[in-house]
Amino acid sequence: MAYLDKLLQPGETLLARTRPHWIVLVPPFGTLILAVIVLVATFVALTGYGQTAVLAGYGVAALLAVIGLLHLLARWVVRATTEYGVTSLRVVQKRGIFSLHTVEMNLDKVESVDVDQSLFGRMLGYGAVDIHGVGSRWDPIVGIEDPLAFRSAITTHMASSRAA
């Protein structure tokens, strides 16, 4: 059961849930691709330059691969353990497994919600959401899946609760 499901109070419903987009995994994959390029270049170009040059090339490729794998693992854990949700009463941000960090803002305290998406973000469905509240402001939520639906869940419920 997800954290947001456990968090709900009696009568409270979950309107939207999102998490970091898979695009956050791209930089580590770039490092792994660079490691493969260095490996192939070492095999092709340095084989005639002696054993020291070849071992140095393979060492650089191995170092890049280890860095890429560790970076990929870290990003994957962050993606898997981060949740953003909009309930009928509040907006919730949760991060972490062992040490848990949550931030909540009541929907009636939200003044505005901004969405920023680049061209690639619009094509691939990710972006940043910036929530402004009465007397407070969250750090932008960067790289989330479907930021327009997340904003709509907040603003639609804001409008209906203020009209009542």
For the chain, the maximum distance between any two Cα atoms, rounded to a whole number of angstroms, is 79
Q: Are 87 and 12 in contact (CB under 8 A)?
A: yes
Give the total number of structural domains in the chain. 2
Same domain for 91 and 157?
A: yes
Same domain for 100 and 139?
A: yes
Same domain for 91 and 13?
A: yes
Same domain for 158 and 109?
A: yes
Say what the pLDDT of residue 128 is.
95
Degrees, nearest 5: CA angle 87-94-137: 75
Same domain for 46 and 107?
A: no
Same domain for 59 and 133?
A: no
Same domain for 114 and 129?
A: yes
Specify the DSSP element, H or E, that contains 12.
none
Q: What tens digit of pLDDT does each residue of 32-62 get?
A: 999 999 999 988 887 777 788 888 889 999 9
Alpha carbon distance 6, 1 (integer Å) = 7
Alpha carbon distance 13, 161 (integer Å) = 14
Same domain for 94 and 129?
A: yes
- Point out the domain boundary residue: 77, 100, 121: 77
CA distances from 149 to 16, 40, 61, 158 (A): 8, 44, 41, 14
Say what the pLDDT of residue 79 is.
93
Structural domain span for residue 70: 25-77
Same domain for 123 and 155?
A: yes
pTM strictly above 0.85? no
Rg (CA), the chain: 22
Give pLDDT tens digits along the chain (164 positions). Answer: 588 888 888 988 999 999 999 999 999 999 999 999 999 998 888 777 778 888 888 999 999 999 999 999 999 999 999 999 999 999 999 998 888 888 888 888 888 899 999 999 999 999 999 999 887 778 889 999 999 999 999 988 765 555 55
Say what the pLDDT of residue 49 is.
72
Count of helix runs (H) and strand runs (E) in the chain: 5, 8
Same domain for 43 and 56?
A: yes
Strands (E), the chain: 14-18, 83-87, 90-95, 101-106, 110-116, 126-133, 136-137, 141-145
Same domain for 158 and 140?
A: yes
Alpha carbon distance 164, 37 (integer Å) = 61
Which CATH number belongs to the domain containing residue 159 in this structure?
A: 2.30.29.30
Same domain for 14 and 94?
A: yes
